[in-house]
Amino acid sequence: MTKRTCENCRWWDAGPTGSGSCHAKSPMAGSDDVFPVTHRIDRCGEWADASITPEQEERQELTRRFAVALISAGGPIDDSIWYEAAELAAAEPQIQREDGK
């Protein structure tokens, strides 16, 4: 599992000395509109894994939500729930045409 530190975050822009700037939010007002300076080992609640795309992250979240919904609906509480949830999250929605096909 990826360590949830600034150096592994999608929003972090590394600087030359082990520090960098956090781009998770807009720049801070005042002081020349700069982004907050953080160190590579810092952490926060806005962390997003830099090693995966936003689409992959969204699929992971869908998988978690499906698993919770399946368990809440009385589904099995074992490893198979994750496989079923992952399959549901990966399924592309079927678009129905106006002519019903």
Query: Which of the four pLDDT bands, split at 50, 70 and 90, describes residue 17?
Result: confident
Q: 65 and 44 in one domain?
A: no
Q: SS3 letters for the chain?
A: CCCCCHHHECCEEECCCCEEEECCCCCCCCHHHCCCEEECCCCCCCCCECCCCHHHHHHHHHHHHHHHHHHHCCCCCCCHHHHHHHHHHHCCCCCCCCCCC
Domain shared by 35 and 73, yes or no: no
Chain-centroid distance of CA 88 in Å reads 18
Same domain (yes/no): 22, 39 = yes
What pLDDT is stored for residue 95 in this prediction? 45
The answer on 84 and 62 residing in a single domain is: yes
- Domain containing residue 21: 1-51
Total-model pTM: 0.53
Residue with the bigger pLDDT between 14 and 74: it is 14
Judge whether 98 lies within some domain: no
pLDDT digits (tens, 9 = 90+) for 40-82: 999 988 888 888 888 888 888 888 787 788 778 776 667 776 6
Give the chain's domain count: 2
> 11 and 42 share a domain?
yes
What is the reported pLDDT for 19? 92
Identify whether residues 6 and 18 lie together within a single domain.
yes
Q: Is residue 101 part of a domain?
A: no
Looking up residue 26, the CATH number of its domain turns out to be 2.20.70
